[in-house]
Homo-oligomer: A and B are copies of this chain.
Amino acid sequence: MEKISKVVVSRLPRYYRYLDELRHQKIERISSKELSKLMNVTASQIRQDFNNFGGFGQQGYGYNVDYLYEEIGKLLGLHEKHKMVIVGAGNLGQAIANYGNFKNRGFEITALFDRNPNLIGKKTKYGEIRDIKNVYDYVVENQIEIVALTLPKEAAREIAEKLVSCGVRAFWNFAHTDLSFSDDIIVENVHLSESLMKLTYRIAEKNHQ
């Protein structure tokens, strides 16, 4: 299979969200045209996107909502279990830990870690917050696949490097820095402050025009 372009992949979760809503509204089928109106994109783009994966529709009919939802879910890896721990148990780490929908979607958060003695031992949904010094043994023993890094950038790189050597293959990185490893280590960055700056760019643009 040809490598799917980044921009196509980045649209899949949004399709998935809209299809989930349609499903909940008991809508059985939808055409690319209807979906395009709903999502505010072109019908062409929708069909092109899906045809990167061989196409999920039927001429004259459109797309079956449930089927399409499931197939996109599979593409997104949501039919497999993903073991994840959270390193950095501040507000952001706890926010992610408490995010409701993870369990339904195959994610299993098994522990939170922090280096702050005031936090260690504190009760959460996923047991007590653990001492970060134990995270390395923990990820090996429990075969953790994903680590969410919700800690200050100063600590992020060093900890991530050690975790790589302990077999972690993917990072969901909220630290304010770019991490990069060899090609087989996956890093997905979420830079919240950069998103806020995009917003203020547009405010400034409006004010100056």
In the complex formed, the residue of B with least CB distance to A209 is B1
Interface size of A by CB at 8 A reads 59
The A85-131 residues at the B interface (CB cut-off 8 A) are 90-92, 94-96, 98-99, 101-102, 105-107
Q: Is A67 an interface residue (CB 8 A)?
A: no
CB distance from A181 to the nearest CB of B (A): 13
Instruction: Report A's interface with B, CB cutoff 8 A.
Output: 1, 4, 9-10, 12-14, 16-17, 40, 74-78, 80, 82, 90-92, 94-96, 98-99, 101-102, 105-107, 145-146, 169-170, 172, 176, 180, 184, 186, 188, 190-207, 209
A101 to B, closest residue via Cβ: B193
Instruction: Give complex CA distance A106, B203 in Å.
Output: 13
- Contact across chains for B176 and A195 when beta carbons are under 8 A apart: no
Which secondary structure dominates chain A's binding surface?
Answer: helix
Q: Could you give 29 example pairs across A and B, Cβ below 8 Å? A: A1-B209, A9-B198, A13-B191, A13-B194, A16-B197, A17-B191, A40-B180, A74-B204, A75-B201, A76-B200, A77-B203, A77-B204, A78-B200, A90-B98, A91-B92, A91-B94, A91-B95, A94-B95, A102-B193, A145-B203, A146-B203, A184-B206, A186-B202, A186-B203, A186-B206, A188-B196, A188-B199, A188-B202, A190-B190
A12 to B61, alpha carbons, bound, how many Å?
Answer: 44
Residue in B16, B105, B202, B207 whose CB lies within 8 Å of A80: B207
User: Quick one: closest B residue to A91, CB to CB?
Assistant: B95
| A12 CB contacts on chain B under 8 angstroms | 197-198, 201
Please report the C-alpha to C-alpha distance between residue A135 and residue B209 in the assembled complex, in whole angstroms: 30
